[in-house]
């Protein structure tokens, strides 16, 4: 049975109205566990939190340079894009430069995650498209890798394809796991997704934050070259005013969320990796979890803390913006 623990009580007046359950792990630069809430070995799917790692094999082989893909465009390889027009523009450019087509991607057509963009498309009577899918950048990157490795392009999504084997190797290397201890599933967009102990997601992000600890020189050099692009073009990682976009504006932070409530984050100065999962799958409480962790660790930018508070304040508001309750944290690093 899962061994998750309460992360937050959500009180309405003084009565507990909701309990947010989950896991939290923090590791140091040597991958040692320094704090956890819930079982650190509990298997959790990376979901889209693995995307910055999955992009590395493409950049390692200089496929961005080979096809004239700009640094800004290449960040979409790590993105869960919102479908705003600028994403569609960059993805279209990549298709044109590489000779790939939207139709080659295996996912079904959809509308953008961004409600305004979806509304405008539907209002104008325009149909759903595969390019609007939030994982389109990852699929293009995987197709480029599959073609470069000599695999059949239409098989890029298969577990035993050359591209997926290489992606799995990168994810396992940074997570410091072995094939026998990595579980596979099928992600929402149809490609393999990797499950590791929740601690190992923190290890993966520690390696993205403390690059000299990546245990593969080629991936280390590639991360050193690629990750600064996410800070330079943070809007390309998620979309306007989204948590991942706003966090990656802070040069001390590398972060990416995934579906079903999972989040990975690395702190560069502190050389720490952080992972957590809200087992309900809810993501609205992510900023509050991060704010509590950051405040207890200390040393984070005031503007970053203010941003997190704006996205999810500690008070519970009703529809009339009246304070009707509060969130009570059960995360205490001093007791970990």
Domain boundaries, the chain: 5-335
Q: 246: which residues sit within 8 A by CB, 6+ positions away?
A: 234, 307, 311
Q: Has residue 2 got a pLDDT over 70?
A: no
Query: Percent of the chain having pLDDT more than 70?
Result: 99
Q: What are the helix (H) ranges across the chain?
A: 51-54, 56-60, 63-66, 71-74, 85-98, 115-123, 136-148, 162-175, 198-209, 217-232, 243-247, 286-297, 302-311
User: Looking at the domain that runs over 5-335, which CATH code has it been given?
Assistant: 3.40.710
User: In angstroms, rounded to a whole number, what is the distance separating the alpha carbons of residues 178 and 197?
Assistant: 12
- The answer to whether the CB of 261 falls within 8 A of the CB of 22 is yes
- Which tokens sit at 204? 């993966």
Q: 82: which residues sit within 8 A by CB, 6+ positions away?
A: 112, 113, 114, 117, 134, 238, 239, 240, 242
User: In angstroms, rounded to a whole number, what is the distance separating the alpha carbons of residues 231 and 253?
Assistant: 9
Average pLDDT of span 285-290? 96
- The answer to whether the CB of 19 falls within 8 A of the CB of 10 is yes
The whole-number pLDDT of residue 245 equals: 98
Q: What is the mean pLDDT of the chain?
A: 96
Q: 117: which residues sit within 8 A by CB, 6+ positions away?
A: 82, 83, 84, 85, 111, 132
Q: Would you place residue 3 in the very low, low, confident or very high pLDDT band (cuts 50, 70, 90)? A: confident
Q: Has residue 61 got a pLDDT over 90?
A: yes
Q: Has residue 336 got a pLDDT over 70?
A: no
CA Rg, the chain, in Å? 20
Q: Has residue 216 got a pLDDT over 80?
A: yes
Q: What is the SS3 assignment for 145?
A: helix
Average pLDDT of span 171-198? 96
The whole-number pLDDT of residue 224 equals: 98
Q: Would you place residue 271 in the very low, low, confident or very high pLDDT band (cuts 50, 70, 90)? A: very high
Q: Would you place residue 39 in the very low, low, confident or very high pLDDT band (cuts 50, 70, 90)? A: very high
User: Among all chains, which residue has been given the structure tokens 């690093």?
Assistant: 333
Q: Would you place residue 335 in the very low, low, confident or very high pLDDT band (cuts 50, 70, 90)? A: low
From residue 326, alpha-carbon distances to 13, 21, 83, 289, 317 in Å are 8, 16, 33, 14, 8
Q: Has residue 333 got a pLDDT over 90?
A: no
Q: Would you place residue 299 in the very low, low, confident or very high pLDDT band (cuts 50, 70, 90)? A: confident
């Amino acid at each position: 049975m899962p061994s998750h623990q309460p992360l937050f009580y959500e009180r309405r007046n003084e009565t507990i109205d909701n309990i947010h359950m989950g896991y939290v792990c923090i590791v140091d630069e040597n991958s040692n566990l320094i704090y956890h809430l819930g079982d650190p070995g509990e298997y959790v799917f990376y979901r889209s939190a693995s995307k910055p790692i999955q992009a590395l094999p493409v950049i390692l082989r200089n496929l961005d340079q080979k096809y004239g893909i700009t640094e800004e465009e290449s960040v979409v390889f790590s993105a869960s894009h919102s479908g705003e027009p600028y994403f569609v523009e960059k993805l279209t450019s990549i298709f044109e430069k590489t000779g790939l087509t939207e139709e080659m991607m295996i996912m079904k057509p959809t509308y953008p995650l961004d409600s305004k963009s979806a509304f405008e498309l539907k209002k104008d009577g325009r149909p759903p498209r595969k390019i609007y899918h939030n994982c389109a950048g990852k699929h293009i990157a995987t197709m480029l890798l599959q073609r470069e490795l000599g695999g059949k392009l239409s098989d890029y999504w298969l577990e035993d394809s050359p591209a997926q084997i290489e992606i799995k190797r990168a994810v396992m290397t940074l997570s410091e796991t072995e094939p026998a201890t990595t579980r596979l599933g099928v992600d929402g967009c149809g490609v393999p997704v990797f499950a590791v102990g929740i601690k190992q997601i923190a290890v993966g992000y520690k390696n993205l934050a403390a690059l000299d600890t990546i245990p593969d020189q080629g991936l280390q050099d590639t991360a050193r070259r690629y990750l600064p692009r996410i800070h330079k073009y943070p809007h390309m990682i998620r979309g306007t005013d989204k948590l991942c976009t706003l966090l990656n504006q802070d040069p001390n932070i590398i972060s990416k969320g995934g579906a079903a409530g999972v989040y990975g984050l690395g702190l560069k100065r502190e050389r720490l990796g952080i992972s957590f999962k809200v087992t309900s799958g809810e993501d609205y409480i992510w900023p509050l979890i991060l704010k509590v962790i950051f405040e207890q660790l200390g040393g984070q930018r005031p503007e970053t803390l203010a941003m997190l508070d704006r996205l999810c304040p500690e008070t519970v508001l009703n529809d009339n913006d009246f304070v009707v309750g509060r969130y009570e944290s059960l995360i205490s690093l001093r007791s970990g």
